[in-house]
């Protein structure tokens, strides 16, 4: 990963797969607690932000269960 620090996720994976990676990492981060690798990937490739669409879906599912 060190060699990819100066590259964007879109450069490495392409736009579509970078979006899929962002969504997947968001889902995994919501299922885990304080995962350093996930936090690092968000910081390096996604400006520290979770994927908005994935979070919207997670919140919608949580409301349906509650």
| 3 close to 27: Cβ distance less than 8 angstroms | no
DSSP, residue by residue, 6-63: TS-HHHHH-HHHHHHHHHHHHHHHHHSSS-HHHHHHHHHHSTTPPPHHHHHHHHHHHH
Confidence class of residue 53 from pLDDT cuts 50, 70 and 90? very high
What's the structural domain count of the chain? 1
pTM attached to this predicted model: 0.81
By residue range, what is the domain housing residue 14? 2-65
| Residue range 22-50, pLDDT digits in tens | 999 999 999 988 788 888 889 989 999 99
Query: Using 50, 70 and 90 to split pLDDT, how confident is the model at 2?
Result: low
């Amino acid at each position: 990963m060190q060699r990819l620090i100066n590259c964007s996720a879109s450069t490495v994976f392409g736009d579509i797969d970078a979006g899929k990676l962002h969504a997947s990492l968001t889902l995994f981060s919501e299922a885990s607690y304080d995962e350093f690798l996930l936090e690092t990937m968000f910081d390096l490739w996604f400006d520290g932000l979770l994927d908005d669409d994935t979070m919207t879906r997670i919140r919608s599912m949580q409301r349906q269960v509650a």
